[in-house]
Amino acid sequence: MRRLIFLFLLFLTTASYAQYHSGAIKLGYFNPKAAEGGFIIGYEGGHAVDRNLIIGWSIDWFNKNYTDQSLVSEFNQFDPSIGGELNELRAKTNLHSIPIMFNLTGKFPLAPKMNFYLYGAVGAEVLLIFYRNYENPNDDDFQGAFDFSWRLGAGYAYRLGHRSEFLIEATYHDSKPSWTYEVDDRTSGSTRTFERVYDMSGIMVRAGFRFFFR
């Protein structure tokens, strides 16, 4: 009889917990291969299936102004007579990365208030790219790029209260959006197609807070 009562109470506790939704704000450092590392901010929404499993979605934002050195090298090879400073200007890029993903997080209790967790995610990488016009480097052009993305991560969660916890984690993110465009050389009359590949694969280290609510 006691076992039945215990199992019944455990079921009620689990069912009640499963009604909780969660929201997490994460801040940290992201270092993709395509650009220099910098600040990244993200929000993660989820549904607590039980105490140790959360399914949900996330959206992040990473912005970087940088000079694409691989593109500088291509421009130098395309027209060696042009000075390096002009091609440096042509390769200046303002990049906005917005991954939108679905994720699964599994928790493994370590102590009464601490959990180790693993999570994986799949989704789409959206890039908003402001780059310099080849013929008029002082003017900006705009392009959007998309690609499939995935990530794997691990971290620690420390319970602050009944419905809140502190997070610290490390994640590997993988995505390679790209697009192509043509450049006409007025001097030689030739045309060349350039492919801009933005390898957004890299490590991110973040900390944040997760809150549970009904």
Domain extents in the chain = 21-213
* Mean pLDDT of the chain, nearest integer: 82
Helix (H) or strand (E) holding 137: none
Alpha helix stretches (DSSP H) within the chain: 2-18, 69-78, 84-90
Q: Looking at residue 67, what is its pLDDT?
A: 73
204 has a pLDDT exceeding 70: yes
Q: Looking at residue 175, what is its pLDDT?
A: 95
Q: Which residues on adjacent β-strands are paired with residue 154?
A: 118, 170
Collect all residues with Cβ–Cβ distance below 8 Å to 200 and sequence separation of at least 6.
32, 33, 34, 97, 125, 127, 149, 173, 174, 175, 176, 177
Q: Looking at residue 11, what is its pLDDT?
A: 39
Tell me the whole-structure pTM to 2 decimals: 0.76
Q: Under a CB-based contact definition with an 8 Å cutoff, are residues 197 and 178 in contact?
A: yes
Q: Is the dihedral of CA 108, 111, 115, 116 positive or negative?
A: negative
Query: For the ranges 81-90, 126-135, 163-172, 190-199, which has the lowest average pLDDT?
Result: 81-90
pLDDT band at 62; cut points 50, 70, 90 = very high
What is the CATH number assigned to the segment(s) 21-213? Answer: 2.40.160.20
Give the model confidence (pLDDT) of 140-183 as tens digits.
778 888 899 999 999 999 999 988 999 999 999 999 998 777 77
Q: Under a CB-based contact definition with an 8 Å cutoff, are residues 28 and 207 in contact?
A: yes
Residue type, 79: D
Nearest to 97 by CA among 180, 37, 25: 37
18 has a pLDDT exceeding 80: no
Nearest to 108 by CA among 44, 157, 144: 157
**CA–CA separation, 31 and 37 (whole Å):** 4
Q: Looking at residue 4, what is its pLDDT?
A: 39
206 has a pLDDT exceeding 50: yes
More confident residue, 40 or 191: 40
Give the model confidence (pLDDT) of 67-100 as tens digits.
766 666 666 566 655 556 666 666 677 889 999 9
Question: Where do we find the tokens 């506790």?
Answer: 13
Extract the tokens encoding 73. 């090298």
